[in-house]
Chains A and B, each alone.
Chain A
């Protein structure tokens, strides 16, 4: 690795007083090296990401922006330059706004319970349990199940007539839920799939962060007479701030891009006969791959990108405020 080669040379010790010219020169040189080391190293360390991003991230972003300003058939390719026409068109579509609404609804139904439940599970896992490894790995199992199996299973559970959930409901004398025709029901079902897959995962992330909280802080709180709940609210949560910000932002980004779970919710993959659960990414897919209108699809992709950035920023500010209310130590 070039990085290590470069820095193998620095002298191990710069603290000794220089008693000879040679040492003075060496010191001057090493100080120079050290100065550059301090200045350049950070950029060097972050460069792998940015180099890769230039190759695999920036190009699609610019490409998509370029496409969105043209009529562009997915197969036929570039048509004439139309400026913002694609944006105007999709913004005037009720289907677009329907997709925005669905995306936010599914996002809220999945991310809020997910984060809350994940913290709760993490707090429990953080206790002095027997057979820790078993419990901790157990909550992560949904993450390893092959997605094809998850899709099959949940479709089986949520089938309107033959599904297990509705069989149980009708067995208890209740009305079956119309999972595939009622908007909110379909959002709930999809959010359940999302939560199933990601709650344990987020719980372990929180757990790792909780483990990093020094125990003496809790001891001090105990001495101050704080109960467990009180400790959790005024010690654990504030100390988890960076992790909470992390989880909320990644959950926001992932949640607003929700695609797989909603797409496999029925066989047609278009988000329901009345677009009950068509999300923005599915709308992108419909425009681009279904209608071959790459230009309009790109416009929606860019709008989604802007929405996500805005929401993620708002989330960041809100989360920072909430998480710091407990007071940082």
Chain B
């Protein structure tokens, strides 16, 4: 069942190149389950799904592009001309640029570290034999079952003891490696990385970390790309904990946006203009990373 190419080089880059070549040759064929182009039914189904998915964003933009006097009579179906004015009052009311910078920093650091540490742990759980691995993995998964709401007070106590309340560390550190990420990488690598490949580079003298670096990481790339994207977005939109631990003067975007509702009468055209503004960076990320991510998924077709 496996057609792992013999790896002739010794360790290191050679093995990696061989492994990569292995990946490359595997994906010459059709990327889909079949070469056939799908029919209009498929596209119709997808179009319906996309419409439903995009609707709330579009609706937010509609509301954000009018002023509150129009909205109180019902949301119109065409955008108004007020978006820039609303956006300007968002920028006036909240420290938007500071929050944007904080969000970029927190999300990037979290995404990078989650991917690195989760892949490392996933590689160990999926491919290395060691005493207690099964039990430890179950333990990792069980940690996801701890209800979050109650953890707030003890975690806050910890952060206060460390002197981190109000600082971005308090948001970054609890997220640098997640049980979710470890579990995901374990499940993915279990099948996506053939044991023979690791054995081959080991026989050729690679150390464990080299095996991870040159064989594990490349095989994990598609899943890692998705984990990075998911983590980035989830960190970006996370509200509850940052709201509790950060100061409104040094916020992430969702915490700052909440301030738009700090009034007895809330002007939703401005709130949703803010929501749209905070989503634009993510959409840009999609545009840039999307292609990369999709081709990453395709390239990942390693399978013995």
Contact = CB atoms under 8 A, between A and B. Distances in A.
Interface of A: 3-4, 6-7, 10-15, 34, 37-39, 41-43, 45-46, 48-50, 52-53, 55-57, 59-61, 63-64, 74, 121, 123-130, 132-133, 135-150, 152-153, 156, 196, 200-201, 204-205, 207-216, 218, 222, 228, 231, 236, 239, 242-243, 245-246, 249-250, 253, 256-257, 259-260, 280-281, 284-285, 288, 294, 297-298, 301, 304-305, 308-309, 312, 329
B147 A301 contact: yes
Contacts of B207: 7, 10, 34, 37
B136 interface: yes
Interface stretch (B79-87, B91-99, B274-282): B274-282
Contacts of A49: 117-118, 121, 140, 177, 179, 182
A59, A153, A298 interface centre (most CB from chain B within 10 Å)? A153
A143 B233 contact: yes
15 contacts: A37-B207, A42-B133, A43-B124, A49-B179, A52-B176, A124-B42, A127-B32, A128-B38, A138-B46, A146-B237, A149-B276, A152-B272, A214-B301, A215-B33, A305-B147
Given A7-B210, A45-B212, A52-B177, A57 B143 contact: yes
A48 B149 contact: no
Interface of B: 1, 10-12, 26, 29-38, 42-43, 45-46, 49-50, 52-54, 56-57, 59-60, 75, 117-118, 120-121, 123-125, 128-130, 133, 136, 140-151, 153-155, 158, 173-174, 176-177, 179-180, 182-184, 187-188, 190-192, 203-205, 207-210, 212, 222-223, 226, 229-230, 233, 236-237, 239-240, 254, 257-258, 268, 271-272, 275-276, 278-279, 282-283, 286-287, 290-291, 293-294, 297-298, 300-304
Given A142-B53, A149-B60, A149-B272, A64 B151 contact: yes
Nearest to B213: A4
A249 B144 CA distance: 10
A127 B237 contact: no
B34 A298 contact: no
Nearest to A63: B154
A284 B147 contact: yes
A298 B148 contact: no
Given A128-B31, A214-B303, A304-B147, 12 more contacts: A12-B11, A13-B11, A121-B46, A126-B33, A127-B42, A142-B56, A146-B278, A214-B304, A249-B141, A297-B150, A305-B145, A305-B146
B291 A146 contact: no
A27 B236 CA distance: 50
Interface SS of chain A: helix
B230 A243 contact: no
B188 to A, nearest CB: 7
B10 A148 contact: no
B33 A218 contact: yes
B128 to A, nearest CB: 4
A129, A145, A147 interface centre (most CB from chain B within 10 Å)? A145
Nearest to B287: A137
Contacts of A239: 191
B278 to A, nearest CB: 6
B52 A196 contact: yes
A220 B184 CA distance: 29
A117 to B, nearest CB: 9
